[in-house]
């Protein structure tokens, strides 16, 4: 099943941008009258009939609407510090999208080696992983913020978890335990940079109600920890 | 903490091959008398003193022995069909090694697009991921076999799981459910190729005692499914 992304979908008509139109009408040779499946990136999939097969700007008429198509029963934000090697962070974006994530926030830590992150490639990866894994909602790739800004922004109602090895007597529970103890479905997980959080960042997280969790005995790379955290949430709501 | 791999470790002396010796003595400039940490790839880590700092073939004397260092409380074999794109399978090898796997078996399915797989790159990735994630045991990358051969070989005592969407009334449980119902710690998971298993392969698996499991609602790529299965096992024994 091939999905196309409509930048504009009003419930009756879906409009594809030049890239999607070219893929639909030039590469895959769809012609007016053909049935295609289109997502709006916001959670709805449309069964459509192609009415304009222009490879510059195709249009399709909606035949059937599937709201919440390919969705998941939780709302997950993963805030993760971009890795030195961009491929590793982008791999996390692809895998988290396949598994099921709602929002990815590139956070810059005081000890991050990468202080600047451009989200355009991640946006494209999230879109293609969304289509490939048959989902209708594209996870939001947020504008990068510092770890401290992100902690201060986080809304108070959700379950907030931070994967960090706190010194001293700060007790940590496993991420599964934290998830089992929580009966809501709105979760934020904060994953540190390769150089880990600074003690100030960690203290601030505790102040703002973050629960310190561990991800088990293995020593994981940043991007592996982020995908493992997303997987733990996904499995929790299965 | 930097680990070096000894191709030969008799409990008193560790010998490094040319590549590891060059990294230890040329790149990192370790000299005779320096203390280094060496793994034998079989599960033991040694604290050593370098006695020969030759970048062609370094030797170190064992000061302290740590058996089962960085190990995990289960034995996991993941049999997975290599992906068209080699990077994706190699990414699975790296991530499964970080998380904790004992044996990776590249299996060739009747519907596999990739019929041949060379394991040399995967061997190198498994070694570097083992050192990077501070483990002493390098997962075995087995010689590729066909899916049917693998199914016929699998030993009868372990929990055998196959991720496959069976037609008709073959009931599937979630992988977590299957793991919770099992009180042992020896697990084999079989993950299909991009073209999925053939019905004959699936039937043979059932015949040989494989339990059909699903990995949740998301549609995952082959390598993502393989890593998610390894993660489910890892989290189960936390």
pLDDT of residue A207: 94
Check CB contact under 8 Å for B219 and A91.
no
> If you average pLDDT over residues B16-26, what whole number do you get?
96
Nearest to B231 among A133, A217, A231 (CB): A231
Distances (CA, A) of A225 to A111, A126, A216, A221, B153: 17, 19, 10, 6, 34
**Has residue A170 got a pLDDT over 80?**
no
Convert the pLDDT of each residue in B66-103 to its tens digit: 999 999 999 999 999 999 999 999 999 999 999 999 99
Distances (CA, A) of B143 to B84, B92, B202, B206: 18, 17, 21, 23
Nearest to A219 among B133, B218, B219 (CB): B133
> If you average pLDDT over residues A211-219, what whole number do you get?
93
Q: What percent of chain A clears pLDDT 70, i.e. is strictly above it?
A: 98
Q: How far apart are CA B73 and CA A216, in angstroms?
A: 12
Map residue B119 onto helix, strand or coil. Answer: coil
CB distance A73 to A237 below 8 Å: yes
Mutate which of A216, A225, A236, A237 to test chain B, going by most B C-beta atoms within 10 A?
A216
Residue A231: φ, ψ to 5°: -65, -40
**Has residue A168 got a pLDDT over 80?**
no
Q: How far apart are CA A12 and CA A118, in angstroms?
A: 34
Distances (CA, A) of A44 to A3, A8, A123, B108, B208: 12, 12, 18, 37, 42
Convert the pLDDT of each residue in A137-152 to its tens digit: 999 999 999 999 999 9
| DSSP output for A187-209 | EEEEE--TT---HHHHHHHHHTT
For tokens 């997303």, the residue is: A230
**Has residue A114 got a pLDDT over 70?**
yes
**Has residue A167 got a pLDDT over 70?**
no
- Output the average pLDDT for chain B: 94
Check CB contact under 8 Å for A238 and B176.
yes
Distances (CA, A) of A1 to A57, A133, A238, B30: 21, 10, 24, 56
> If you average pLDDT over residues B124-128, what whole number do you get?
97
Check CB contact under 8 Å for A176 and B91.
no
Give the other-Cβ count within 10 Å of B108's Cβ: 20
Higher local confidence (pLDDT), B167 or B164: B164
- Output the average pLDDT for chain A: 94
**Has residue B124 got a pLDDT over 70?**
yes
**Has residue A154 got a pLDDT over 90?**
no
pLDDT of residue A36: 97
Give the other-Cβ count within 10 Å of B166's Cβ: 17
Give the other-Cβ count within 10 Å of A10's Cβ: 10
**Has residue B156 got a pLDDT over 80?**
no
**Has residue B114 got a pLDDT over 90?**
no
Structure tokens at B88: 């994706």
> If you average pLDDT over residues A71-99, what whole number do you get?
96
Distances (CA, A) of B2 to B7, B36, B69, B74: 17, 8, 14, 26
pLDDT of residue A169: 66
Q: Is 0.90 surpassed by the pTM of this model? A: yes
Give how far A12 is from chain B: nearest CA, Å.
28
Check CB contact under 8 Å for B228 and A231.
yes
CB distance B128 to B95 below 8 Å: no
DSSP annotation of B12: S
Q: Chain B residue with minimal CA distance to A99?
A: B218
Structure tokens at A132: 């490939």
> If you average pLDDT over residues A180-201, what whole number do you get?
93
Map residue A127 onto helix, strand or coil. Answer: helix
Convert the pLDDT of each residue in A12-49 to its tens digit: 999 999 999 999 999 999 999 999 999 999 999 999 99
Check CB contact under 8 Å for B228 and A99.
yes
Q: Is A85 on the interface with B (CB under 8 A)?
A: no
Work out how many CB contacts closer than 8 A connect A with B.
Answer: 77
Residues near B5 by beta carbon (within 8 Å), at least 6 away in sequence:
B16, B17, B20, B38, B39, B40, B41, B127, B131, B138
Q: How far apart are CA A177 and CA B236, in angstroms?
A: 11
The A residues from 16 to 35 touching B (CB cutoff 8 Å) are: none
Closest CA to A145 of A186, A103, A97, A187: A103
**Has residue A165 got a pLDDT over 80?**
no
Higher local confidence (pLDDT), A119 or A114: A119
Which domains, ranges and CATH numbers included, belong to chain B?
3-67 (2.40.240.20), 75-237 (3.40.1280.10)
Q: Is A180 on the interface with B (CB under 8 A)?
A: no
Q: Which of A187-201, A220-234, B165-179 has the highest mean pLDDT?
A: A220-234
CB distance A5 to A126 below 8 Å: no
Per CB-CB distance under 8 Å, the chain A contacts of B231 are: 228, 231-232, 235
Per CB-CB distance under 8 Å, the chain B contacts of A174 are: 238
Q: How far apart are CA B195 and CA B202, in angstroms?
A: 13
Q: How far apart are CA B62 and CA B12, in angstroms?
A: 5
Check CB contact under 8 Å for B72 and A231.
no
For tokens 């108070």, the residue is: A156
**To 10 degrees, what angle do helices A86-99 and A222-236 make?**
10
Q: Is A238 on the interface with B (CB under 8 A)?
A: yes
Check CB contact under 8 Å for A98 and B218.
yes
Q: Is A179 on the interface with B (CB under 8 A)?
A: no
Q: Is B183 on the interface with A (CB under 8 A)?
A: no
- Residue A75: CA atoms inside 13 Å, Cβ hemisphere, count? 10
Per CB-CB distance under 8 Å, the chain A contacts of B224 are: 95, 98-99
Give how far B6 is from chain A: nearest CA, Å.
21
CB distance A84 to A213 below 8 Å: no
Cα three-residue angle A170-A173-A176, rounded to 5 degrees: 155
Check CB contact under 8 Å for A95 and B217.
no
DSSP annotation of B83: P
Convert the pLDDT of each residue in A197-206 to its tens digit: 999 999 999 9
Helices (H) then strands (E): counts for chain B? 7, 13
DSSP annotation of A156: S
Higher local confidence (pLDDT), A194 or A83: A83
Q: How far apart are CA A100 and CA B234, in angstroms?
A: 20
Distances (CA, A) of B194 to B111, B115, B166, B189, B226: 8, 12, 15, 16, 12
Q: Is B221 on the interface with A (CB under 8 A)?
A: yes
**Has residue B192 got a pLDDT over 90?**
no
pLDDT band at B8 (very low <50, low <70, confident <90, very high): very high
Q: Which of A191-195, B171-175, B180-184 has the highest mean pLDDT?
A: B180-184
Q: Is B173 on the interface with A (CB under 8 A)?
A: no
Q: Would strands A103-108 and A75-80 be described as parallel, antiparallel, or unpaired?
A: parallel
> If you average pLDDT over residues B208-220, what whole number do you get?
93
- What's the Rg (C-alpha) of chain B? 20
ipTM above 0.90, yes or no: yes
> If you average pLDDT over residues B129-135, what whole number do you get?
96
CB distance B112 to B85 below 8 Å: no
| Bridge partners, A91 (sequence order) | none
pLDDT band at A6 (very low <50, low <70, confident <90, very high): very high
Residues near A37 by beta carbon (within 8 Å), at least 6 away in sequence:
A1, A2, A3, A4, A45, A46, A47, A48
């Amino acid at each position: 099943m091939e999905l196309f992304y409509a930048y504009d979908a009003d419930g009756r008509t879906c409009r594809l941008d030049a890239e999607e139109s070219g893929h639909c009408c030039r590469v895959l040779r769809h012609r007016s009258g053909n049935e295609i499946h289109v997502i709006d990136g916001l959670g709805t999939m449309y069964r459509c009939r192609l009415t304009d097969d222009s490879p510059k700007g195709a249009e399709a008429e909606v035949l059937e609407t599937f709201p919440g198509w390919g969705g998941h029963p939780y709302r997950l934000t993963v805030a993760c510090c971009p890795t030195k090697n961009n491929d590793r962070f982008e791999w996390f974006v692809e895998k988290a999208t396949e598994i099921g994530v709602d929002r990815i926030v590139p956070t810059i830590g005081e000890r991050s080696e990468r202080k600047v992150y451009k989200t355009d490639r991640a946006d494209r990866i999230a879109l293609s992983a969304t289509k490939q894994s048959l989902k209708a909602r594209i996870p939001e790739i947020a504008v990068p913020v510092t770890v401290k800004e992100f902690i201060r922004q986080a809304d108070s109602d959700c379950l907030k978890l931070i994967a960090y090895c706190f010194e001293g007597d700060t007790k940590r529970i496993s991420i599964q335990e934290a998830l089992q103890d929580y009966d809501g479905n709105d979760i934020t997980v904060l994953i540190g940079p390769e150089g880990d959080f600074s003690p100030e960042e960690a203290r601030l997280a505790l102040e703002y109600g973050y629960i310190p969790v561990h991800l088990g005995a293995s020593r994981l790379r940043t991007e592996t920890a982020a995908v493992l955290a997303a997987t733990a949430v996904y499995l929790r709501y299965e």
